[in-house]
Amino acid sequence: MTTSTTTPDEAVRRPRAAHRRPRRAVVPVPRWWRDATAAAGWAVLLGVVALWVQDGGVQDLGTLAGALTSTGRLTGLVASALLLLQVVLMARVPWVEQAWGQDELARVHRLVGFTSFTLLLVHIGLITLGYAASGPLGLWGTTWDFVVSYPGMLLAWAGTAALVMVVVTSVKRARRRLRYESWHLIHLYGYLGAGLVLPHQLWTGADFLDSRAATLFWWGLWLTTAAAVLVFRVGLPLWRSLRSPIRVLDVRAEGPGVTSVTVGGDGVRHLPVRAGQFLQWRFLDGPGWTRANPYSISAAPDGRTLRITAAHLGDGSSRLASLRPGTRVLVEGPYGRMHGGVRTRRKVLLMGSGIGITPMRALLEELPQGPGDVTLVHRVRSREEAVLADELRSLAAARGARYLIVEGPRVRGRASWLPQQAAHLGDAQALREIAPDIAHHEVYVCGSDGWMSAVREAALEAGVPHGAVHLERFSY
């Protein structure tokens, strides 16, 4: 573990840093919004069960065929509600996104998604078995009769196939084998799957057809979900990007395989973005512009320009190096709860690994601080890979912060945030060496998933409260 000096390097300081103008404070969404949205989700599920009971679901459990069919109806209804709730989670509703934070939202999204998919499969199996037990066609005859005779069932099967594709590619092992652009495109089929699976309730669902309360409930749920997607996933980003154009101002190589892009325009002034947050970016430079990529801002926003710094890890990030000034930019966001507005403690530990140092650099620049309040740990395999190191030294010196470079290949044989040369230390012990009063720090973390998890576990072990550890994951 090595420590860098904090000698100012004026030659690399950003020219615009000296001319920052005051920005309107962005008020963070209160944490209680998370509890309110969770309560709303549970209320929806309770409503589904209540409607099933009202429609005689419990009474139908008296026979084998009735029990199979009624339980199948319940699992299908709950699966449908969870599927719609999952779409809302994907809709980038600002209050939901900022109340939960991307990392917690990602975990909830995965849990809801896999639960909904499992219940959907159970629903198909139970309904088929229930109808087969009460009719003369047998199992395969009933299955065929469903497909060819019931309105909406072909669409439902097609939607199920789309959801299977989404779920399979969301498994962590499969996810690691896919490029981000490919995974993101496949993930959008979740909207198609939901749109194809749900309509058969309208045409064939007894719970939907026989109860006015159920009809109003489901129509309200569907319309609310559709409105959330159209307004927040489509309308708001388009409105922000089109009402005031944002264009590329500067493109700069930061080192081998790393590029910084600075954008500006009147549209930047209207973005309520804070250091530590990320946006979804589309650069209108030719084929492939429709696929958005998530990049954190790498400099504190000043109301006039934004800067991102990205490693060339896929087609989208590699294209950044070929952008030209004047290229039009579309953005979605900002997203994430990893910003100064959630800070509750005076002392702060910023930890970034690899290209994950970029939001930490923006936080270092923006966070109010006194001498010694902020410590920045920069984890790299070698000093040659320390992106933005000169800027970080300058900022740390100017702001009275400590800047530490922790270099070397990762520890072998255990999940750890440390390099091999520090393998004799425990992860929490190493944090205490860096900051003896670590339990009284706010901790911000960005890097690869495994590295962030190791840092979080070490911080919690060292006495940092769970609510004082902040990290974000870009993918669900």
Question: 239-273, pLDDT tens digit by residue?
Answer: 877 888 899 999 999 988 899 999 999 889 888 89
Q: Mind listing the pLDDT tens digit for each residue in 112-164?
A: 888 988 898 898 888 888 878 777 777 777 666 666 666 566 666 677 777 77
Residue 6 belongs to a domain: no
Higher pLDDT, 333 or 399: 399
Is 227 found in the same domain as 154?
Answer: yes
CB atoms closer than 10 angstroms to residue 289: 16
Residue 321 belongs to a domain: yes
Residue 476 belongs to a domain: no
Contact 285, 293 (CB under 8 A): no
Query: Cα separation of 66 and 166, whole Å?
Result: 32
Residue 14 belongs to a domain: no
Q: Mind listing the pLDDT tens digit for each residue in 308-360?
A: 999 998 777 888 999 999 999 999 888 888 898 889 899 999 999 999 999 99
Contact 128, 180 (CB under 8 A): no
Is 412 found in the same domain as 361?
Answer: yes
Residue 17 pLDDT > 70: no
Is 186 found in the same domain as 291?
Answer: no
**Which range scores top for mean pLDDT: 13-27, 65-79, 188-202, 204-218?**
65-79
pLDDT band at residue 2 under the 50/70/90 scheme: very low
pLDDT at 467: 87
Query: Cα separation of 439 and 460, whole Å?
Result: 8
pLDDT band at residue 176 under the 50/70/90 scheme: low
pLDDT band at residue 13 under the 50/70/90 scheme: very low
Is 217 found in the same domain as 331?
Answer: no
Residue 91 pLDDT > 50: yes
Is 211 found in the same domain as 315?
Answer: no
Is 314 found in the same domain as 286?
Answer: yes
pLDDT at 171: 64
Q: Mind listing the pLDDT tens digit for each residue in 400-459?
A: 999 999 999 988 888 899 999 988 999 999 999 999 999 999 999 999 888 999 999 999
Residue 75 pLDDT > 80: yes
pLDDT at 90: 78
- pTM of the complete model: 0.75
Higher pLDDT, 137 or 217: 217
Average pLDDT, the chain: 82
Is 387 found in the same domain as 313?
Answer: no
Query: Cα separation of 330 and 290, whole Å?
Result: 10
Is 425 found in the same domain as 375?
Answer: yes
Domain that holds residue 278: 240-335
Residue 23 belongs to a domain: no
Is 260 found in the same domain as 215?
Answer: no
Residue 2 belongs to a domain: no
pLDDT band at residue 21 under the 50/70/90 scheme: very low
Report the percent of the chain where pLDDT is more than 70.
Answer: 80
pLDDT at 20: 44
Query: Cα separation of 457 and 451, whole Å?
Result: 10
Where does a domain end: 293, 308, 335? 335
Is 183 found in the same domain as 95?
Answer: yes
The CA distances from residue 184 to 7, 98, 180, 240, 476, in Å, are 42, 21, 6, 22, 10
pLDDT band at residue 16 under the 50/70/90 scheme: very low
DSSP state letter for 346: S
CB atoms closer than 10 angstroms to residue 423: 15
Residues 6+ apart with CB under 8 A from 47: 217
Is 95 found in the same domain as 156?
Answer: yes
Q: Mind listing the pLDDT tens digit for each residue in 270-301?
A: 888 999 999 989 999 888 787 888 899 999 99
Is 263 found in the same domain as 214?
Answer: no
Q: Spell out the alpha helix ranges (H) of 308-448.
A: 315-318, 357-366, 389-399, 427-434
Residue 3 belongs to a domain: no
Residue 22 belongs to a domain: no
Higher pLDDT, 172 or 104: 104
